[in-house]
Amino acid sequence: AQKVTQAQTEISVVEKEDVTLDCVYETRDTTYYLFWYKQPPSGELVFLIRRNSFDEQNEISGRYSWNFQKSTSSFNFTITASQVVDSAVYFCALSERNYGGSQGNLIFGKGTKLSVKP
Amino acid sequence: DTEVTQTPKHLVMGMTNKKSLKCEQHMGHRAMYWYKQKAKKPPELMFVYSYEKLSINESVPSRFSPECPNSSLLNLHLHALQPEDSALYLCASSQGTGVGAANEKLFFGSGTQLSVL
């Protein structure tokens, strides 16, 4: 069955600390896509990254980095030197190409609420 | 312009009211979506429009009625809602390369916070 697990419900850190948000997924498909979205208090979900199942390269974008490991079915997200503006709920999501993977039919994790205190 | 605009931002309605939520994008996207998000939960897909045609209805009750008048606009008509329908309603859009495009990046609006009394 398809599933995305974000085991950390809430994380609180002090500014400038590094923080890693965990995401573990289950899928029966060989072609699938993984996403991270950020939802600040204003409400809109903001796309952060997309990875397809054939691309296991890790990615760095400024203070953000992602570690995709198919062997452990994980797609973890690290924020380096966290800032107060990083405070938000972060969702990991999965979309399958061949099993119900239509547009917008994302399987979301339950989200991790990150609070960065000054 | 990379925005999805939703109006109103907040809406309070009684169970006998009829109201509409509106969503607009000018990115030339051909796929538009309605999601429902209850507090402290992830978004749940309700409807997908692809090239102005309804392509997915995730078994949503008929008291929710979507409409896509043109490629830039998406409405959600509400009638005879229940208190449990209170939630944040999010609109999103994507390029829309066709049904089955599971890899599309979604652009979300800020949502309408709906309260049903």
Mention every residue, 6+ apart, whose C-beta is less than 8 A from residue A40. Answer: A46, A87, A88
Which pLDDT tens digit goes with each residue over B56-79? 888 899 999 999 999 999 999 999
Q: A interface toward B at CB cutoff 8 Å?
A: 32-33, 35, 37, 42-47, 50, 52, 91, 93, 95-97, 101-106, 108-111
Which candidate, B56, B68, B65, B57, places its Cα nearest to that of B19? B65
Which pLDDT tens digit goes with each residue over A47-81? 999 999 998 888 889 999 999 999 999 999 999 99
Task: Say if CB A64 and CB A73 are below 8 A apart.
Answer: no
Between strands A59-61 and B64-70, the pairing is unpaired
Q: Are B48 and A103 an interchain contact pair (Cβ–Cβ within 8 Å)?
A: yes
Residues above pLDDT 70, as percent of chain B: 95
Q: Are B55 and A109 an interchain contact pair (Cβ–Cβ within 8 Å)?
A: no
